[in-house]
Amino acid sequence: MTKKIFSKPQAVIGLILIMIVIICAIFAPVIAPNSPDQIDPSLKYLKADGDYPLGTDQLGRCELSRLIYGARYAIGMSIPMLLILGILGLIIGTFSVCAGEKMDRIITFICDVFISFPSLITAIAVISVLGNGIQNIAVAVVISMWAWFARTVRSYAATEMGKEYITAARISGCSTVSLIFRHLIPNILPQCIVYMSTGVASAIIMISSFSFLGLGLPQGTAEWGAMMNEARTGLYGHPEMLVYPGICIFVTTAGFNLFGEALRDALTSEGGI
């Protein structure tokens, strides 16, 4: 299975991009040439040189250092959120299928209500009520995206429910809880991991969107969306300040999407989906 995944160039490229971002996030204090928050107006919009490889922003802060530290927010916030969403999706989606037709209809209806609203709009509404902050952003993302995960898991679980081993487990007197955790979840987990890997990209884009709209982290935080928001003031004179964080977002999301697609192709070829 692993050999088949890494025989695909998109998997190798995706994993390399992901590892670069993760390494930057973990070793940011070592890699960054300067402090990301050190303000010096006299160094405003310096051109790239040995001390500032990508120049400085409108407040004289090192652009490269801020981009490197921005990886911490992208990875450090999106992956925990996806783990929470994955757990909720697995529990709600499998329970919906196993709890009976009436309960399945209720849960499906609730999911449809949440899905009918764009995720970003729902998240912005939650942030507007709760206020800025990392915890509030996490709550907003989970509330706006849980229904998508639950519906996807339900579709995987519904397919498994028609298989003979599920029928045999029910005939043997297997309880609903046991059916979910001993039979359904282990068999649909690979498909869910694929879905979660591509979901990381969506979470990163959503987090950056909050910051770009001024609804995310505190002002001045070295986060890619916030950097794009601040760069708008010098868009015409220094467009590169807007381009750099945009490239970081693109590279990171592309890495997770490429690797997720490679996983999906490998599972499909093995008959897993």
Q: How far apart are CA 161 and CA 155, in angstroms?
A: 10
- The answer to whether 257 touches 187, Cβ cutoff 8 Å, is no
Instruction: List, for residues 10-25, the tens digit of each pLDDT value.
Output: 888 999 999 999 999 9
- The answer to whether 179 touches 188, Cβ cutoff 8 Å, is no
Both tokens of 27, joined, read 């070793």
Judge: domain 20-28+55-269, CATH 1.10.10.10.
Answer: no
Measured CA distances, 202 to 11, 18, 78, 83, 89 (Å): 18, 15, 9, 14, 16
List, as one string, the DSSP characters of 105-121.
Answer: HHHHHHHHHHHTS-HHH
Element at 245 (helix H, strand E): helix 240-269
**Domains of the chain: which residue ranges?**
20-28+55-269
Instruction: List, for residues 62-71, the tens digit of each pLDDT value.
Output: 999 999 999 9
Sequential pLDDT tens for the chain (273 residues) = 567 777 778 888 999 999 999 999 999 999 999 999 989 888 899 999 888 999 999 899 999 999 999 999 889 888 888 899 989 989 999 888 888 889 989 999 999 998 988 888 888 888 888 877 788 888 888 888 899 999 999 998 888 888 888 888 888 887 878 888 888 888 888 888 888 887 888 888 888 888 887 776 777 888 898 899 888 888 888 899 999 999 999 999 999 988 888 887 777 665 554
Residue type, 226: A
- The answer to whether 17 touches 28, Cβ cutoff 8 Å, is no
| Bridge partners for 62 per DSSP | 56
Both tokens of 253, joined, read 């999301």
